[in-house]
Amino acid sequence: MKVLVTGAKGQLGQDATNVLTEVGYQVIGCGREELDITNMEQCGQVISAYNPDIIIHCAAFTAVDAAESDMDGAYLVNAIGTRNVAVSAEKLGTTVVYISTDYVFNGNSETTYVEYDDTDPQTIYGRSKLAGEQMIRNFCSKWFIVRTSWVFGLHGNNFVKTMLRLGQEKPQLKVVNDQKGSPTYTVDLAKFLLNLISTEKYGLYHASNSGSCTWYEFTQAIFEEARDQLGLEITAELQPCTTAEFPRPAPRPANSVMDHLSIRLNQLQDLPHWREGLKQFMLDMKLHPELYLK
């Protein structure tokens, strides 16, 4: 089985490539240099040349705040780029897995979001990713849309690495305690994608590590695991604060917690609890100290 991974140099792209390769898939990892998804002709040529059975489409414009001042850039990658991948894949009969986001919801729900709740994105990023979902639905016959949230991994920059660095540098650290979500370790997500593509249970899925927490509670756990697993000396005094104290160009959802209805209904294995994912991340970091603060 041949799998092409777009955005293969990103957090999820690298782990998806590694996880699939380890179990024997023939994986073609394409970064921006190898595959410009915004160029329809080039996108079609590259995908046609590789002729994959499955495309895991991780490439995306993910800079949430930057998207607010670069709407064209966000839609070019997340909507038009996804259309180009979808059209190219459909010509070959290729299955597409599109990685989407909790930002397609407004974040105001009192309960967890199921796959079939109405979407109402409040940011350019969220709207452009929802447009990408629509491109997949419109142009692909065989597709999985997988929404995830609060992603962290060994490769690249993310919240966990930032907190590890600041926790050792700052005397005091304020973290918002009124936004709730589900942190997701990219290796756990990649393993879920591995299981998913072995089926024909096409459709829309919510896939994050199970359980939920606030960013403040997540940071508390990060510091605890860093001390226990890595032996790091965390000196920062951690304090909770409100979203209003840290205004950002793009509004953050108060509630990003997604229910995994489709995973249950399709009798697939759910992702482990976020705390287990965080612990495993720290153990994996221990094996790769060169990635601590990158």
Contact 181, 212 (CB under 8 A): yes
Cβ–Cβ < 8 Å for 271, 193 = no
Among 183, 180, 172, smallest CA distance to 282 is for 183
Tokens of 193: 């994608």
Q: Can you tell me which residue has the tokens 């879920």? A: 192
Q: For 65, how many CA atoms within 13 A lie in the half-sphere containing its CB?
A: 4
Identity of the amino acid at 114: V
Q: How much is the pLDDT for 292?
A: 60
167 and 200 Cβ atoms separated by less than 8 Å: no
The set of catalytic residues is 125
Residue that has been written with the tokens 């990649």 in this structure: 190
CA atoms within 13 A on the CB side of 38: 11
Low-confidence ranges of the chain (pLDDT < 70): 291-294
pLDDT at 294: 44
For the stretch 117-126, pLDDT in tens is: 999 999 999 9
The domain locations on the chain are 2-157+183-210+257-272
DSSP state of 104: G
* Segment holding 133, helix H or strand E: helix 124-139
Instruction: Using CB atoms within 10 Å of the CB of residue 134, give its burial: 0 to 12 exposed, 13 to 18 middle, 19+ buried.
Output: middle
- 2-157+183-210+257-272, CATH topology level: Rossmann fold (3.40.50)
